[in-house]
Amino acid sequence: MADASRLDVNRLAASRPDVGRLVVIVLFDGVDLLDVTGPPEVFSLARRETDDAAGYAVVLAAGTMDPVTTGAGVRILPDATFREVASRSIDTLIVPGSVEVDGERRVRALVDPELVGWVKTLAGRARRVTSVCVGAHLLAAAGLLDGRRATTHWSTARQLADEHPEIEVDADPIFVRDGDVWTGAGISACLDLSLALIADDLGETVALRVARQLVMYLKRQGGQSQFSVPLEQVAATRRIDDLRHHIMRNLGEPLTLVDLAGHAHVSDRHLTRIFKSELGTTPHAYIESVRVEKARNELESSDATLERIASVCGFGTTDTLVRAFRRRLNTTPTEYRRRFRSG
């Protein structure tokens, strides 16, 4: 079996000089299945959609050549061992992750020291290093995220920040690029990250063609949030539900702190405490996030002018709308509509 592996790696490195970009995906027991299988699908379509003969060659590397059982229970055969690919020049190293869930459904990212050592070694051979989902925890343990901005699945972002205060953890974006290190958010975001890598290599047009082949409803950019406002707040208790519905029904109105406190029959200060404890944010920030969410929907599904959208969403002016989009999505309304218009 080991001989077959060496033959395969040698074929990629020597017998197939047309292969221009070697992508190595780290494989280990308990790894998230989609994080392993998603990127190869994207890279294979990139080769089909271009005249670039070099293309990508994906190798699944593990500690041994024994089958690996993923977190979903599906077994995968490695193409090569870590030791074998460590002797090659790697274009892109992709590091997935794995988690454990306790009896109270609390999620915790797992970090194996031996695996961390191999990640550090392979990263030294790679042009760029990426993590998908909780794979960021492995990059962090290897010291590859020190002093960098990074993201991970929202459920383990607090763990990453607590264990690695030297990292600027941002739990909101779909993916983050900091130099030659890319980190991706939760599970299906591995597709978005792979598309972004293709756009970086081959251009935006190729990435969009690949997205169409994947039948992806949207090709999301890195600044987009991991989840929408309505989904984000589902876990909040019912105590604040009436206020949230009031905000949604009156989004085009000023919605001042005084108005909201009067509606809830509490003081301004107590209202702020309620938002902090129930939603983890301030009334002003929550209202802005809801307005941005509504504006996103309008931009995706209608031909309304920016002035009209700013008015119905409660921003008042297009300047305020633009500033909110830059602050929350790192883009402009016009650019957002160009990328994500559905019709």
Please say if the pLDDT value at position 87 is more than 60: yes
Residue intervals in the chain for CATH 3.40.50.880? 2-213
Average pLDDT for 175-197: 89
More confident residue, 236 or 246: 246
Residue 76 confidence (pLDDT): 96
DSSP class of 235: T
94-129 pLDDT, tens digit each: 999 999 988 878 899 999 999 999 999 999 999 999
Instruction: Write down how long the chain is.
Output: 343
Using CA atoms, how far apart are residues 299 and 196, in angstroms rounded to an integer? 22
Using CA atoms, how far apart are residues 278 and 273, in angstroms rounded to an integer? 8
Please give the angle made by the CA atoms of 247, 253 and 258, to the nearest 5 degrees.
70
Residue 209 confidence (pLDDT): 82
Residue 32 confidence (pLDDT): 93
User: Rounded to whole angstroms, what are the CA distances from 32 to 187, 190, 225, 240?
Assistant: 8, 11, 21, 35
288-323 pLDDT, tens digit each: 999 998 998 889 888 999 999 999 999 999 999 999
Q: Coil, strand or helix: which one is 137?
A: helix
Read off the pLDDT band of 30 (50, 70, 90): very high
Q: In the structure encoding, which two tokens stand for residue 292, read together?
A: 């941005």
Residue 228 confidence (pLDDT): 44
| Homologous superfamily of 2-213 | Class I glutamine amidotransferase (GATase) domain (3.40.50.880)
β partners of residue 182: 130, 177
Do 153 and 160 form a contact (C-beta atoms < 8 A)?
A: no
Using CA atoms, how far apart are residues 166 and 105, in angstroms rounded to an integer? 28
Query: Among 99, 128, 139, which Cα is nearest to 24's?
Result: 128
Q: Coil, strand or helix: which one is 216?
A: coil
Please say if the pLDDT value at position 251 is more than 50: yes
Residue 171 confidence (pLDDT): 82
CATH topology of domain 229-340: Arc Repressor Mutant, subunit A (1.10.10)
Q: Are strands 68-69 and 75-76 parallel, antiparallel or unpaired?
A: antiparallel
Read off the pLDDT band of 225 (50, 70, 90): low
β partners of residue 62: 81
Residue 281 exposed, middle or buried by CB count within 10 Å (0-12, 13-18, 19+): middle
Residue 236 confidence (pLDDT): 42
Comparing 28-37, 226-235, 317-326, the range with the smallest average pLDDT is 226-235
Residue intervals in the chain for CATH 1.10.10.60? 229-340
Please say if the pLDDT value at position 219 is more than 60: no
> What backbone phi and psi angles, to 5 degrees, belong to 58?
-105, 130
